Amino acid sequence: MGKTALITGVTGQDGSYLAELLIAKEYTVHGLVRRSSSFNTERIDHIYQDPQQPGRTMILHHADLSDGVALVNLLREVRPDEVYNLGAQSHVRVSFDSPMYTGDVTGLGTLRLLEAIRASGIDTRIYQASSSEMFGAAPPPQNERTPFHPRSPYGCAKVYSYWSTVNYREAYGMFAVNGILFNHESPRRGETFVTRKITRAVARIRAGLQERLYLGNLDAVRDWGYAPEYVEAMWRMLQRDEPDDYVVATGVPATVRDFLHAAFASCGLDWARHVLFDPKYERPSEVDALVGDASKARDLLGWQPAVRWRELAGLMVEADIAALEEELSGARVRIDR
């Protein structure tokens, strides 16, 4: 019998890659999906299995991180060996517009899940999706010993979740780990995060569908890795003998301007002819530089990244060009459920 996992945030970028990884490892994957008035399962449509299919290994449940009782009921029903808490309001700029909501889902949501594990009485391991945003203003390179100095409601909520996870490990002996992941991207990255916003615009400008791209601060430094590699690190953390916290990063810095240049240049375009500044994309308090030191993950998990930011920019542009061509040819269809 394979293991059973429950993923919150299964419809997100990481959730979709993690579900693929676990299914390939013969897990039965249960995913928590929040109710939406429009389809929100596009990233997992290709691995979706019909409820009527016997012996299916991918099962979706409606619930929400704001509903603690629903979490208890779900855990009692599924009895997972492993829980991956990836669900969150994950957009830093938006967290300044909706700080209470972000605190509720991204912060308290984790506590609800930890408490639901206790209340349901099941024996399980939990992965918490912690973030380099917790380091905020702390100068790079950042590792597991770097003090937190969050710069947004999102960062503050993640710090709350981080310490709640550590507290449940210490107080109740729970196998609870924090993966402190630096920015990771892919063709499935949400369209309003800066990398995807850029690569999508490159595809559209190249096709003559868009002329201008409005951005905020181009000087910010980030450490961008490739999401499918990062979900492997999550899984490895839960396979260890002892629970612990790990930084996951490439260690390679680049500015938003560097990424912009590489993405446009990969199609022979000059970004400076298309990009304009809009202050609405700036944050009230910015995180200037995040560059991770992932040597602990390398030494203890045997995890190392292969894809660096320049290659990532190229592969994301290629994927956005292919997706646009498919869309324009009418070949892309939505699956109804």
**Least separation in angstroms between CB 174 and ligand F7E:** 23
**Least separation in angstroms between CB 112 and ligand F7E:** 19
Identity of the residue, 74 or 319, whose beta carbon is nearer to ligand F7E in the bound complex: 319
Output the furthest CA–CA distance in the chain (Å, rounded). Answer: 59
Number of neighbours of residue 157 by Cβ within 10 angstroms: 28
Residue number of the CB atom closest to ligand NAP: 12
Among 133, 160, 226, 246, the active-site one is 133
Please give the backbone phi and psi of residue 43, each rounded to the nearest 5 degrees, phi first.
-70, -15
Identity of the residue, 220 or 321, whose beta carbon is nearer to ligand F7E in the bound complex: 220
Identity of the residue, 99 or 190, whose beta carbon is nearer to ligand NAP in the bound complex: 190
Tally of CA atoms within 13 A in the half-sphere of 72 that contains its CB: 10
Residues 185-224 vs ligand NAP: string with x where CB under 6 A?
-----x----------------------------------
User: Is 128 a binder of ligand NAP (CB under 6 A)?
Assistant: no
| Residues 33-52, interacting with ligand NAP (CB under 6 A) | 34, 36, 40
Peptide bond into 141 cis (omega under 30): yes
Measured between its terminal Cα atoms, the distance across the chain in Å is 29
Strand pairing partners for 142? Answer: 292
Give dist(CA 181, CA 159) in Å, integer.
Answer: 13
- Residue 131 bears catalytic tag: yes
User: Is 13 a binder of ligand NAP (CB under 6 A)?
Assistant: yes
E runs forming strands in 103-212: 125-131, 175-181, 184-185
| Residues 65-124, interacting with ligand NAP (CB under 6 A) | 65-66, 86-90, 105
